[in-house]
Structure 1
Amino acid sequence: MAEKPKRPLSAYMLWLGSAREQIKKENPGIKVTEIAKKGGELWRAMKDKSEWENKAAKMKDEYTKAVQEFERNGGSKDSGRKTKGAKKAPKKSKKPASDDDDESGEESD
């Protein structure tokens, strides 16, 4: 069975992909994290983002169609989705139970 289509990139991520080399060129020796920070500053300062927003919208439309096609062909809506923060059974305490611990919260004499 085919894998579920991957989510499309946001307008910012599309733009950053095209601007990354220019940012590196203008800031020799810049760290990866600093590239992202600088990119964020440049993106926020941009007046006209319509080119990137249009590309992102087009990719999202294509993604939506691909997901619908995937689901029509028997793909599960949850297929390929990683469950972040899924609840696991609580771990048992390694601390041995003692007679002093009274779970009712009342003091014993």
Structure 2
Amino acid sequence: MKGRKSKSESKKSDTKLSVNTAPAKSSKRKAAVDPNKPKRPASAFFVFLEDFRKQFKEKNPNNKLVSAVGKAAGSKWKAMSDAEKAPYVSKSEQRKKDYEKNMDAYNKKLARGTNASENELESDKSRSEANDEEDEGSEGSGEVEDSE
């Protein structure tokens, strides 16, 4: 009985060896995503996948598995030569250029938007103060005093 453990000892050692697989709660929250921000462009493979899905659905109308489409597309993409991939690569590069233009415009708009909103607040204040002064002046000129 030297090497044997009692039931209570084996339970204690098992609990010590168990690993906590529950994910730790993160105190950090994700930043809010701006819905106006342009989406990143698709890679050459995903441009190819757009066309491949249509072809695959025509050839296999009964297949509903997304994984089957992905596996078939991946194997075909790997088998393709660089010359066959070229049209998809060029479309991808064009989309990337468009994305960069859109991001530049988006960033400029953000920069203007923060400054514009601050300027707008200041101009609203000055307008309301100017309107108050005009209202006071018009009230005084509209009244007629009787000096009899």
Q: Which runs of 4+ in 1 moved over 2 A?
A: 24-30
TM-score by length of 2: 0.46
Question: Could you tell me how far 1:2 is from its partner in structure 2?
Answer: 7.2
Deviation readout 1:64-107 (Å, 9 max, x if unpaired): 111011101116xxxxxxxxxxxxxxxxxxxxxxxxxxxxxxxx
Higher fraction of helix: 2
Equivalent residues in 2 for 1:66-85, closer than 5 Å: 66-74=102-110
Q: Of 61, 66, 72, which residue of structure 2 is paired with 1:38?
A: 72
CA distance in 1 between counterparts of 2:51 and 2:93 reads: 17
Q: What's the TM-score, normalizing by structure 1? A: 0.62
Query: CA-to-partner distance for each residue in 1:2-59, whole Å, 9 max, x for gaps?
Result: 7111111111111111111212333343311110110000111111201000000000
In structure 2, relative to structure 1, the CA distance for the partners of 1:2 and 1:19 (3 Å cut) is: closer
Partner of 2:38: 5
CA RMSD of aligned residues (A): 1.9
Task: Determine which structure has more spread, i.e. the larger CA radius of gyration.
Answer: 2
- Structure 2 unmatched runs, 5+: 1-33, 112-148
Farther off after superposition, 2-11 or 44-53: 2-11
Q: Residues 34, 2 of structure 1: CA spacing in aligned structure 2 closer, same or farther, 3 A cutoff? A: closer
Q: Percent identity?
A: 32
Taking the TM superposition and a 5 Å limit, the aligned residue runs for 1:1-109 are 3-30=36-63, 31-47=65-81, 48-74=84-110
